[in-house]
Structure 1
Amino acid sequence: MTSRPVRALALAGAALILTSSPVHAADDVRTSANVEHVANVPKQAPFASRQAKQSDLAFQGHYAYQGNYHGFTVYDIANPAKPKVVSRVSCYGAQGDITVRDDLLFLSVDESVAGDSCRTTGASATEKGAWEGIRIFDISSKKRPKYIKSIETACGSHTHTLVPGKSKDTVYLYVSSYGPGDIFPDCKPPHDRISIVKVPLKKPKTARIVARPVLFPDGGNERGDGATTSGCHDITVYPSRNLAAGACMGDGVLMDISDREHPKVTARVTDANFAFWHSATFNNSGTKVVFTDELGGGSTATCLKSTGPERGANAVYDITGGKLVHRSYYKIPREQGRSENCVAHNGSLVPVKGRDIMVQGWYQGGVSVWDFTDSARPQEIGYFDRGPFKPRDMAGSWSAYYYNGHVYSSDIQLGLDVLRIRDPRTDPAAGVRLTSLNAQTQYAY
């Protein structure tokens, strides 16, 4: 990467408007008795290749947005049983972590590319003009999103978290990145920091980096795979409580975000069973955090008997006296095949009053709905699971989120899945209606 001024951009990637009917998957799907596979919308051009991996999801009104290593897709989900593709926007650059707010869509690029145009290609980080960071789109027209702004960030943007400002006219993006190296001019070790981008909602072209706080001034802890923390993978915020939970490679942390531009780490934990702290989810009352361990980087088979129940799993922590207190592990109870990449990945709460229930993607382990109301005794209450993807490749549910009565799963290779769970423990959630969902930005139900 090379440092250079950020600038506003004209539309650089065409939106492809498609109106094809959804295809219901006819593969070897297994579900629990209380889960129904409602619909599947397969990948299509320009995302038909296996290299065009589907990634995270965001929601707004009756629209769903699905990130991709080559851009993003907008769906109309007014009828969850028949989701319709509104547009597919081709804009190269992995991984496509995605959030939305009002008429703006934010997209992460954590791959060195030849420039910030949507028509760019991969490039060495040492090449002149190489770029990675955040792209901003105007989505006031869902059929024709417009690319309006790029912001280069140190080490790129593996993920980002949308954080509402104290003013309704401002949001912040907490940009998480890692993987420093001496060849990168703006990303030298230890890189124990995040980038904070301030976005004035009425003037998004003036968005800029306002802070780069160091979270680990002592250099961070050793990870389970022997390397040392060098940045965060993912941060989840609970704005009304001024809380954030960071999954920071070798550390799980709590942060005080009262001052949005100066977050402070208030508690840290490590775990000998964790190889890579990947993501975090608060319960609704903000008294617990579920951290995930991305053992094997998401590309290997870790849901095997030989791996055991405590590695590649979730860890449930109670927040007690401002500290993180470990209570249990949770891992899906179904052993997967050796050709199936499987590990704990992205999920969200199922909004049931008085209970702590989560839906979560496990790559080729499928989608799991599990209850951690008793922190010490989590249990699965429903699941959706396909057989191995063929030919062998990285596949399965990248993320699974509950939104307005249905579960939406982003399948890396097979598109968008829609599920419905009918169970006395989760049925009350169907009455909760949200206007938007960015899973790493939590609000009280």
Structure 2
Amino acid sequence: MKQIISVILAICFLLNSPLTANATTSSNSLNISAESAILIDADTGEILYEKNSNKPMYPASTTKIMTALLTLENANLNDKIIIDKETPFTDGSRIYVLEGEQFTVDQLLHALLIESANDAAVALAKHISGNIEDFVKLMNKRAKELGAKNTHFANPNGLPNHEHVTTAYDLAMIAKYAMTIPKFREIVKTVRYKIPPTNKQSETRYLKNTNRLLWGTGSRNKILYKGKWIDIKYDIVDGIKTGYTTEAQQCLVATAFKNNRRLISVVLKAIGTNVYTDTRTLLDFGFDNFKNMNIVKTGEIITNVKIPNGTEKNLNLITQTKLTKTFPINKKIDKIDKKIELNQKIKAPITKGEVLGKVIYILNGNKIGQVNLIAEKSIDEKAIYKFIKKIKDPKSYSFLKYILYIFIIYIIWRTIVTIKRLKRRRLRRKRY
């Protein structure tokens, strides 16, 4: 009864509190068993729920999200990889690669994300960076670039290492970017895949996705959810990656698409199938209680500025990107104000797409986002201003000064010549 009351109070507070840049729900409002969790909107990046989301945790094989995106950024899918003599001895889940065996990057990516193959992760890392150490440096560098705050990777597959840690928040940021890559989206929703016989293996390798949200039906794939036993499989889920070690327990980064919205959830250190119950609880909560609102579209005209020195007098400034925000579904949205800030002294020449300012959107006195304002088209400078600019240019001034000196010398010379001629004429007249 106390739990029911706390949930009601939390939702009431959420729906009646002032809206800020995000609409985070505290860990007390949902019954999430995992030690750490987060739910974000993939489009806006806003946090809809969090529980210990910045606590360093062992990520297990969810690490492979980073390995996969780095592979997609730095390798060609048709590249050939020949397995070295050390990689076959990788511990844990694997596809049992053999020394001298040849694979494509595409095949090993599928093994990495579907079968969660640790040996595939090592092979890909070596292909990209030459060795594991340099690949790990690349992982940590890229993680920071994607917004990770408390991540330190020590290997490409998530095998136990006390220095190999991340957070639910950081994994959500990494997954958010990874889901923008078409090939990544394609692989993580694939249930089955096969690697045909190779130069060293005469049998086909059959892979099955470790994420039961994609296929888990029947008596062995049930979870107790809202008082009912239901299939783990959830039709709106289309990725991303599971993970498990004894230290990390069950980990799952998942994504779902519904009503033109995509959510990403992260659950770390859950016990058994609770990882799926927690994930479904988070996803349903996000879809049932929040909505996205398009504040402004890409390419929308916001203002018009005068270009006094341009070949055209006026220029439209348009939005560089769209701005979408997430709000509680039943919350009444008051008027959203906007504040335009332009660069000082906007003048030609101007290139189409050049950033000339920004527009800030404000709700109830709080900034909810901003978008760059760019030039709708290019505008050249008037000829007279180009000429004046050339004259003022130090290089042009030196040249003109040199020309002026020559002209003065010429005038002096012409004057002397003229005077001499006049004197000769006078002398001739006197003689006659």
TM-score category by the smaller chain?
under 0.3
Q: TM-score, normalised by structure 2?
A: 0.26
Q: TM-score, normalised by structure 1?
A: 0.25
Which has the higher Rg, Structure 1 or Structure 2?
Answer: 2
